[in-house]
Amino acid sequence: MKKFILLLLDKRRAVTLLLTMLLLLGVILIKKIPVSFFPKTSKPTYYINISGTGMTAEDMHEDFNSKIQGALTSVPFLESHEVRYYSSGFIQIILNFPWRMDLDKAESESENFKTSIKSIFPSSFNDPALYYSDDGSSGYLAVALYSPKLSNAEIYDQAVAILKDDINSVPGIDFLDISPIRQLKAEIIIDPNALLSYALNIDTVISRISSEYKTSSLGSFRDGRRRFSLRTVGSIDSIFELKNLPIATISNRTLFLHDIAEVNVFYDLPNNVYRVNGDPAIMIVAQPKQGANIKNMAEDVLERIHNKLPAFSDTVEADVLVNPAAFIDIAIENVLHSAITGAVLAMIVTLAFLGIFRNTFIVISAIPISIIYAFIFLYNLDVSINLISLSGLAISVGLSLDAAIVIMENIHRHRLMDMQQPLPITLEETIANATAEVAQPVFMSALTSIAVFLPLRFTSPLASAILGDLALTIILTLAASVFVSFTAIPILSYYLFRSRSSLRKQKDNSIAPTTEPPETIIMRLSGTLMGFLSGGYRRILEFFLQSKIMSGALLIITALLFILSLFLVRKIPFSIIEEPASASLIIDIRHSDMDNINDFILAVEPIEQQIVDLLGEENIDARFFSTRNNSQGQIFLNMINPRIASNSIAQLEEALISDTTWTFSVEPYNPAKMQIPRTYALRIAVSGAKKQEIFNYMDRIADQAQQIRRHNDHRAYTWVGTAPMTAPTNELRFRLRDEVSIEIPEYSKNRLNILINNYINGFKPITFVLENGQEIRPIFRFPEITSAEDIGNILVPYQDKALPISHFFDISEHGGISNIIVVDQIEITEVRAMAQQNIPLTELAQFEKTLQERITENIAFNPGYSYTFLDATALIKETIISLRSALIISVLLVFMILTVQFNSFLLSLIILIAIPSGIMGSILSLYIAKSTLSINSMLGMILLGGISINNSLLIVDFFINDVTSSSKKEAIIRASLLRFSPILSTTVTTLLGMLPIALALGDGSNVIQPLGIAVTGGLALSTCFTLLTIPVILSFVSIKGKGAYLK
């Protein structure tokens, strides 16, 4: 290493140029790295929805399930799947792909599957529709357009013409809605008596309607040089001519649609109506594709809207109501400010410990240089700037100073010693000797830190997805800091100290001893501070080393505290990752008996005003109301800050009480929520022979869970339900009379099924395309049927009379199954429950034990029926186990590195004894701060283990290489005091670097707050124990070293 440093200093100009070019490259690449809230990781999940003609869940399961399951087996890379059948004639298929799978590949496979199952369903079913699942967390952009001179209708028409195509071309956009104020609709109410009077059946009418409007190609022919394409066109050209559509010919007379039906073509409110601050508004809503960067999409859409506003015929302004990009920018900025604040504090502390401006400047320069160099690798490895990677950089602020402080402190010490020599050596020799002396411990220390974080890349899929970027960022920054410490630090030291070195030369070029210039105030303060701290540390150390009893007492106290921390960890609540605090809320509103969107909007107006009065208009930054259909909608509220939003949830839940008419649900809206799989607090599988009996047991078990929920003030379970739903549906079962089907063969069972379905559900046989590209499918329906008797009295023509449906069928009323759920080809019947986010797993286990006791006491199962508690927290446990495994692997890797370095199992074990102190400090600080045991806080424990190892390594290394001490005790104290200053300085700089994160200053920073708490609180405690327990352990063991006291 000495030769390398001398070569480096000899070629310093070329090396400086190279380092500067790398620095400039890093600065350039920083601007090219994409910014997002969380890493580019996901577990692709796609939904395929198929809606049919009102078939029951049981019928759809019987008819389609085997074919769907067969098609699912051919989907590559599929991790799990779920098929849900609903009594309303609706099927939902959920495709779950592995973590980190390429989203385009997953979407392509889902599209292929959707296409392959299309042929499974009859023509009465709508084509399968593919959607992606983001658990509502992908967010969306909402912009209101308004003008003092243009009407909303004019704004809408111009917005569609000017903005729609341009916004749809934005990369990553999946859904765009420019909401109209009105929408063209068509409704045809068929008169059943008119049908009978003409002896018409509805199926023949449907066939005629489809053929009359259908355009067909007839081929082509050539007439000389001219080529003609042939095609037939429909009887009408416009939806406004719909009433004149021919539907039959009776006695040489053409019947038109208006002869048998009331045809209404009119403008009405669309299904999606938006009102901003109580007034109708034109809204632009854009949603990203799964895995797309919502920040980039939102910024791109806003830029295009801003650029196109002058194209409107008059002044139009855009009011941004929901902008996830702004939230992400603020959150990232807050975390970045925390990291910068920590870096500044670290610099101040470094100055206080080193006491010399030049030394401090050289050391703190390692922070920006190391981070900028790390960005070169992050760019090439496609790692974005996000909350997790920024956390890695914040952690690296202290770690990157470790090597620089050790090397700089040693260079400073050697300079002072060399200046006192009668024949001082050159500055190049001083720097080379000092750097080479600590090269091995510095390099091995960095290697052990890298070994600590390396296994995080290979933990469980969920933990790796969250922490992969963080581990990679820390590893790359540590590697960069070692490179900087052995290149930039020696060169900077040479350039900044060479002017002092030249003072040694006299005019005759002889060399004379010299001393440093007079001490500055900061140097004196630093010397006083370090003298005081070192003196106190020496006295404490001598106190514990003076007798075996005191030393043993210290080790016993440490062991007891560690055992206490293991007991307390079971009382700390666990969460996979904290959700960023948000200032936005969504209130879902549903009316149980509303079939007109105008009436629904009028009914919601007083509720919206009640909400404004309750929360205070001054606390609401923006609000809008949107409808989903005639009876469902939601109110979006953007409060002025997250604290008010959090308080508002409790106020709204108390004020908005659901009843048989209105249903309310209040949830925080979080555009930066990380997409993680849903986990339940409770899962109980019930099995048996008869499904209705199984449902009965499920309801009784759910009732017992609800009682536990009420007795524990909702702390036990926030929601209890069943999968599938156990509430029966009312069914009318039609059994065909064989004698009638033989007597009247033209009315087959299949034809009668279609006729009944058309009477009840209506039909949409044709589609019109308007000039603006909008598609309209008019619904043809019969007058509403209000009773079961009405269905039996549906009449169909037969010869010269009409027969009721009851003539063909025996009709009886029964209870049916509302839905069926099949998971990975197995039909499930489970009781499930959700719990509050931050409940300890031990408390959940106690609730589960209580529930099991209540089931045993209150529910008697008949032979053949049973229940089984499933592992509802398997995902959480898998994550915890994988992180524990990562810690064990890290320890083993470090042990191997230390054994290679010291060639001693005993020394390696002594150094590793420092790990429990880091874990102990983290647990105690999390418990005292009432924080959570999350993936981030467990990372903090792993980090502290690495720091503790580095601290103990430095003490052990100097102890075994001591050649001047006259006794073992003196050697231990000397090694501890020599390493006290760099250990204390790196500890305090790391602690202060993480302190702003522990305090969670600003929106979004609460996500990584457990990491900050685990590191700051744990580091202070673990460093104290490491500085004391390692010397005490060294005093107990017999180690061969280089010290003269061994002779």
Quick one: 942 and 1015 in the same domain? yes
Among residues 688, 555, 490, 664, the alpha carbon closest in space to that of 3 is found at 490
Domain extent, residue 910, equals 2-32+328-511+518-577+876-1046
Is position 814 within any domain? no
- Considering only 285-294, 475-484, 762-771, 891-900, which range has the smallest mean pLDDT? 285-294
Quick one: 444 and 522 in the same domain? yes
Is position 796 within any domain? no
Quick one: 590 and 565 in the same domain? no
Q: List pLDDT tens digits, range 831-871.
A: 998 887 667 777 788 888 899 999 999 999 999 999 999 98
Quick one: 848 and 862 in the same domain? yes
Give dist(CA 940, CA 685) in Å, integer. Answer: 37
Torsion 693-697-698-702 (CA) sign: positive
Quick one: 828 and 919 in the same domain? no
Torsion angle of the four alpha carbons 529, 534, 539, 543, in this order, in degrees rounded to the nearest 10: 130
SS3 assignment for 78-128: CCEEEEEEECCCEEEEEEECCCCCCHHHHHHHHHHHHHHHHHHCCCCCCCC
Give dist(CA 769, CA 310) in Å, integer. Answer: 30
Q: List pLDDT tens digits, range 427-440.
A: 888 888 888 888 88
Highest mean pLDDT among 355-364, 824-833, 907-916: 824-833
Among residues 117, 57, 41, 115, the alpha carbon closest in space to that of 89 is found at 57
Q: List pLDDT tens digits, range 106-138.
A: 889 999 999 999 989 887 788 888 877 554 445
Quick one: 538 and 632 in the same domain? no
Q: In the prediction, which pLDDT does 1047 show?
A: 47
Is position 1010 within any domain? yes
Whether the CB-CB separation of 316 and 148 falls below 8 Å is answered with: no
Is position 186 within any domain? no
Domain end, chosen from 69, 98, 132, is at 132
Domain count, the chain: 4
Q: In the prediction, which pLDDT does 524 show?
A: 72
Whether the CB-CB separation of 1030 and 909 falls below 8 Å is answered with: no
Q: In the prediction, which pLDDT does 519 show?
A: 56
* Gap between the terminal Cα atoms of the chain: 30
Q: Which helix (H) or strand (E) holds 282?
A: strand 282-288
Domain end, chosen from 669, 694, 713, is at 669
DSSP 8-state code for residue 458: G
Quick one: 349 and 335 in the same domain? yes
Distances 9 to 368, 383, 493, 848 between C-alpha atoms, Å:
22, 34, 10, 68
In three-state secondary structure terms, 821 is: strand
Torsion 279-280-282-284 (CA) sign: positive
Q: Average pLDDT, stretch 640-662? A: 84
DSSP 8-state code for residue 511: B
Q: In the prediction, which pLDDT does 261 show?
A: 92
Quick one: 413 and 446 in the same domain? yes
Q: Angle between the 874-902 and 935-960 helix axes, to the nearest 10 degrees?
A: 10
Amino acid making up residue 563? I
Torsion 286-287-288-289 (CA) sign: negative
Largest CA distance in the chain: 135
Q: List pLDDT tens digits, range 391-420.
A: 777 677 666 777 787 788 788 878 878 777
Is position 811 within any domain? no
Q: How many CA atoms lie within 13 A of 523 on its CB side?
A: 10
Quick one: 902 and 954 in the same domain? yes
Whether the CB-CB separation of 31 and 506 falls below 8 Å is answered with: no
Residue 471, phi then psi, degrees to nearest 5: -60, -45
Given a cut of 70, is residue 660 above it in pLDDT? Answer: yes
The burial of 54, by beta-carbon neighbours within 10 Å (0-12 exposed, 13-18 middle, 19 or more buried), is given as: middle
Is position 204 within any domain? no
* Length of the chain as a residue count: 1047
Range list of β-strands (E), 640-761: 662-669, 682-687, 719-723, 729-736
Highest mean pLDDT among 629-638, 729-738, 850-859, 926-935: 850-859
User: Average pLDDT, whole number, for the chain?
Assistant: 81
Q: List pLDDT tens digits, range 668-724.
A: 877 656 666 667 888 999 999 888 899 999 999 999 988 887 776 556 777 888 988
Q: How many CA atoms lie within 13 A of 789 on its CB side?
A: 0
Quick one: 860 and 944 in the same domain? no
Domain of 654: which CATH number? 3.30.70.100
Torsion 732-737-743-746 (CA) sign: positive
Give dist(CA 114, CA 127) in Å, integer. Answer: 9
Percent of the residues in the chain that have a pLDDT greater than 90, as a whole number: 11
Residue 277, phi then psi, degrees to nearest 5: 55, 35
Is position 213 within any domain? no
Domain of 68: which CATH number? 3.30.70.1430
Is position 588 within any domain? yes
Quick one: 657 and 692 in the same domain? no
Strands 620-627 and 274-276 come out as: antiparallel
Q: In the prediction, which pLDDT does 677 show?
A: 65
Domain of 714: which CATH number? 3.30.70
DSSP for 400-417, written as a single string: HHHHHHHHHHHHHHHHHH
Quick one: 16 and 128 in the same domain? no
Q: List pLDDT tens digits, range 178-206.
A: 877 777 888 899 999 998 888 888 888 88
Domain of 971: which CATH number? 1.20.1640.10
Given a cut of 80, is residue 449 above it in pLDDT? Answer: no
Residue 621, phi then psi, degrees to nearest 5: -80, -40
pTM greater than 0.85: no
